[in-house]
Amino acid sequence: MRLHDLKPNPGAKHRRKRVGRGPGSGHGKTSTRGHKGQRARAGGSIRVGFEGGQMPLIRRLPKRGFNNARHATVYIPVNVAALNRFEDGTVVTSQLLREAGLANGPGDGVKILGHGELSRKLTVQVQAFSASARAKIEQAGGTCEIVPDQRVVKKED
């Protein structure tokens, strides 16, 4: 097999649909838009959930009850194997994890999870630990300290 013998699998590549190129193309005249109506016109698009002026389903349904999700604590997960990038004796905080690019996005804090192995002696100060992560950090000679929640939200530009 040589480089010039390579080709994509049958059916993997499709021709682009070219509409409005005459009757022989099969996509001429109305160019797949049907006859008249809002969707046949230029700029004639409707928003998601619009039902032609009828009261939309989302507004017809009652909004009652309690949802616990809006009060949930959301932790950013970081595996214990990722902590090997820090030197021995480092005090690892959630701020340090953010600067290292290990904890990204909004959340109420960082939680260390136990996937992987740890070969460094570290002092880890974050908001939560899994039981296996705590065991691995302490087995490596480090310490685990729980600090209060540090809610992090996305910055408004």
pLDDT given at position 63 = 87
The secondary structure of 74-96 as a DSSP string is -EEEEEGGGGGGSPTT-EEEHHH
| Structure confidence at residue 140 as a pLDDT band (50, 70, 90) | very high
Please determine, for residue 18, whether its predicted confidence score (pLDDT) is greater than 90. Answer: yes
| Structure confidence at residue 70 as a pLDDT band (50, 70, 90) | confident
Instruction: For 23-37, write each residue's pLDDT tens digit.
Output: 999 999 999 999 999
Name the DSSP letter for residue 33: S
Assigned fold of 72-146: Ribosomal Protein L15; Chain: K; domain 2 (3.100.10)
Instruction: Phi first, then psi: give them for residue 70, nearest 5 degrees.
Output: -75, -10
pLDDT given at position 40 = 92
Q: Which tokens go with 68?
A: 């616990």
The Cα–Cα gap between 138 and 87 comes to 16
HSE-up (13 A, CA, CB side) for residue 127: 20
For the chain, give the mean pLDDT: 90
**What global pTM score does this model have?**
0.57
pLDDT given at position 156 = 53
pLDDT given at position 151 = 63
Determine contact, residues 119/99, Cβ cutoff 8 Å: no
